[in-house]
Amino acid sequence: MNFHIRLSTTLLLIGSLVGCAAPSMIPVGASADEVQQRLGKPTEVLKGPQGGELWDYATGPEGLETWRFDIDRNRKIGSATQLLTQERLYRVVPGVSTADDVKMLLGKPREIMKLAGETVWEWRVALPPEVGVFIVRFGPDGKATGYNVLEDIKTDDSIP
C-alpha cells in the first residue's frame, strides 16, 4: 500500500475516533466538568444571558463546526447548539448586525482581516454538498456591511 493511501486511511480513522467525543453527544443536564473531561478546554468562554457562561468549542480553523454549550449557574448544560448552520449564517443583517451580534450568533471567526477600510471575518462552513467560506464585512462603525458565501477552493471535501 502506498504511503499516501496509508496516511489518508490513518487520518480518517483518527477523525472517526475523535468523533466519538462529538459535542452533540453530550446530553443536556450534564455537568460542566463532564464537558471539559470529554472535550477539553473551550476555545472561548462568553458571559451567558442569565448569568451563566457560554462555552464554545470551535473545530477551526479548518473544521466545519462550532458547538456552544450554555452552562447555567449550577454548572449544568442547559443547551448545546451547533452555531455554523445555514439558518444561523443568514441571520446576519447588513446595516443592523454588530460585530458582537455576529460573534454571539456564529462564534469566534477562524480569521480576521483588514481589507479596503473594512474588517473581514470568516468561517469555514458546510454548505451541502460543498464546503464553503462564510465572510462577513464590517464598516468602521462596527456594523455588518454585507456578507459573501464562497466555495472553499482549498479543498475537494464534500458533505455527505
Domain boundaries, the chain: 22-82, 91-151
Question: With a threshold of 0.85, does the pTM exceed it?
Answer: no
Q: Which residue has the higher pLDDT, 7 or 25?
A: 25
Q: Which residue has the higher pLDDT, 62 or 135?
A: 135
**What topology is assigned to 91-151 in CATH?**
Beta-lactamase Inhibitory Protein; Chain:B, domain 1 (3.30.1450)
Given CA atoms 101, 106, 110, 113 in this order, what sign does their dihedral have? negative
pLDDT at 16: 36
Cis peptide before 42 (omega within 30 of 0): no
Q: Which residue has the higher pLDDT, 18 or 59?
A: 59
Q: Do domains 22-82 and 91-151 have the same CATH topology?
A: yes
Q: Which residue has the higher pLDDT, 40 or 18?
A: 40
Q: For the structural domain made of 22-82, what CATH number should be given?
A: 3.30.1450.10
